[in-house]
Amino acid sequence: MLIAHILFGIMSLIGTLMLGISFHSEFNRLTTMQKTAIVLTIAGTLVTIVLGMFLAQGNVFAGVIAIALVAAFVASLFMPKLGKQNNK
């Protein structure tokens, strides 16, 4: 049962990362509801993984580092680049 849980968690992580990467260039064209759904899906999945890692290890430092990495990943996917100009 533990192996199945790990396998499904890895599948969820891969799917979440693929979702974020696939919508990266199209994100600004989506509606607010679609953007919110994607961000919540990605952040929720990654935070669940961080929480599981934190509870399994009990290491506060590792939990803080993992949360910072999740925040950086979500920000890099969905925040507009600073100073980026639209040249049309």
Average pLDDT, the chain: 76
Give CA–CA dist 82/88, Å, rounded.
18
Q: In the chain, what are the domain boundaries? A: 1-77
Asked if residues 42 and 19 have their Cβ atoms less than 8 Å apart, the reply is yes
The band of 83, judged by pLDDT with boundaries at 50, 70 and 90, is: very low
pTM over 0.85: no
For 21-37, write each residue's pLDDT tens digit: 887 777 778 888 888 88
Chain centroid to Cα 55, Å, comes to 19
Q: Tell me the three state secondary structure of residue 25.
A: coil
For 63-86, give the secondary structure using H, E and C. HHHHHHHHHHHHHHHHCCCCCCCC
